[in-house]
């Protein structure tokens, strides 16, 4: 499906019926990273609280099947595109937000806008500080690689991409990475994204996010060994929220959703229960 915003056709997919759940992927990925971790719980009845939701998965501009546009110069404009998408696709109905990494950053920007009718947020390893040098990051340490893994990965470049992000490097997590993360990385518009990252990756109002006044249920999942966005900055930013569940998961990194599926599903189910 497509939603036209100015001259930008935003690609998105929908599953199910009921309360809208808008799902936002990370930087250079596409919607597959979100369908891969969310749809098993929503569509396969793994949780009784996951029934009755309309899941909306979009590709952000320059990623997946949504093309880049030169006028999307910074995060404020990207956020404006998302607002218009919500107005067109969801309308006045209240909705839920799920955001991973940079998608979590965008979700926080949407929640900061009091005109957005958001009933809850589920944030997976969210980016909260745009400038990498200012983030509090843990040391990732060595990755323990399952014996025989290298023999099933044909491409040395793919292996390097996987290991650079992995903390749990097994055949199972590789297959999830190959099916859910690599497809987006391969088709991303890298020239556009390089320019975007250099000139406008962060909100102009990022410093005001610490004043976020959000009274609905929030769940934040973070990895202790996430050397991409870390976990301390998320806690510092959101610890004042009255309905926050904050989870720091040991021995996982930025791919938390595929490295500890049990914890991920447990807290997604609990968040949905709190929404109800």
Nearest-10 Cα torsion for 184, 185, 188, 192? 140
Going by their DSSP bridges, the two strands 53-58 and 8-15 should be labelled as antiparallel
Residues 170-185, mean pLDDT to the nearest whole number: 97
The pLDDT value given to residue 140: 78
The pLDDT value given to residue 49: 61
DSSP 25: -
The answer to whether residue 128 scores a pLDDT higher than 90 is yes
- By the 10 Å C-beta count (0-12 exposed, 13-18 middle, 19+ buried), 44 is classed as exposed
The pLDDT value given to residue 93: 96
Condensed to tens digits (0 to 9), the pLDDT of residues 143-169 reads 889 999 989 998 999 999 999 999 999
State CA 250 to chain mean position distance.
19
How far apart, in Å, do the first and last CA atoms of the chain sit?
29
Maximum alpha-carbon separation in the chain? 52
The pLDDT value given to residue 239: 98
Residues 262-268, mean pLDDT to the nearest whole number: 97
Query: CA-to-CA distance for 130 and 198, rounded, in angstroms?
Result: 11
Query: CA-to-CA distance for 258 and 168, rounded, in angstroms?
Result: 9
pTM for this prediction: 0.96
The answer to whether residue 45 scores a pLDDT higher than 80 is no
User: What distances in angstroms separate CA 176 from CA 37, 58, 143, 216, 239, one per listed residue?
Assistant: 9, 19, 17, 31, 31
Contact call for residues 177 and 258 (beta carbons, < 8 A)? yes
User: What distances in angstroms separate CA 272 from CA 52, 221, 222, one per listed residue?
Assistant: 11, 14, 18
Query: CA-to-CA distance for 36 and 26, rounded, in angstroms?
Result: 13
Nearest alpha-carbon partner for 274 in 249, 251, 248, 241: 241
Q: Which two tokens stand for residue 204?
A: 């102009």
Task: Give the CATH superfamily of 2-275.
Answer: Alpha/Beta hydrolase fold, catalytic domain (3.40.50.1820)
The pLDDT value given to residue 102: 98
Query: CA-to-CA distance for 90 and 67, rounded, in angstroms?
Result: 22
The pLDDT value given to residue 111: 97
Contact call for residues 23 and 55 (beta carbons, < 8 A)? yes
The answer to whether residue 50 scores a pLDDT higher than 60 is yes
Q: If you count them, how many residues does the chain have? A: 276
Domain range list for the chain: 2-275
User: What distances in angstroms separate CA 241 from CA 213, 219, 270, one per listed residue?
Assistant: 7, 10, 17
Contact call for residues 107 and 219 (beta carbons, < 8 A)? no
């Amino acid at each position: 499906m497509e939603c036209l915003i100015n001259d930008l056709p935003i690609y998105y997919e929908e599953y199910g019926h009921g309360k809208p759940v808008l799902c936002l992927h990370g930087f250079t990925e596409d919607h597959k990273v979100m369908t891969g971790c969310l749809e098993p719980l929503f569509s396969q009845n793994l949780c009784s609280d996951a029934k009755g939701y309309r899941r909306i998965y979009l590709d952000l501009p320059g990623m997946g099947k949504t093309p880049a546009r030169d006028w999307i110069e910074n995060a404020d404009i990207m956020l404006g595109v998302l607002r218009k998408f919500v107005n067109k696709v969801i309308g006045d109905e209240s909705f839920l937000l799920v955001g991973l990494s940079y998608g979590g950053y965008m979700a926080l920007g949407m929640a900061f806008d009091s005109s957005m009718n958001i009933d809850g947020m589920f944030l997976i390893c969210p980016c909260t500080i745009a400038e990498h040098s200012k983030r509090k990051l843990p040391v990732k340490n060595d990755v323990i690689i399952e014996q025989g893994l290298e023999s099933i990965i044909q491409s040395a470049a793919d292996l390097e991409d996987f290991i650079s992000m992995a903390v749990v490097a097994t055949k199972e997590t590789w297959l999830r990475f190959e099916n859910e993360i690599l497809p987006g990385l391969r088709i991303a518009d890298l020239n556009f994204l390089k320019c975007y990252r250099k000139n406008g990756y962060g909100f102009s109002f990022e410093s005001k996010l610490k004043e976020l006044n959000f009274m609905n249920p929030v769940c934040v999942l973070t990895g202790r060994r996430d050397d991409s966005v870390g976990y301390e900055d998320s806690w510092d930013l959101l610890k004042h929220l009255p309905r926050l569940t904050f989870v720091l998961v040991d021995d996982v990194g930025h791919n938390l959703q595929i490295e500890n599926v049990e914890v991920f599903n447990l807290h997604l189910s609990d968040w949905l229960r709190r929404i109800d």
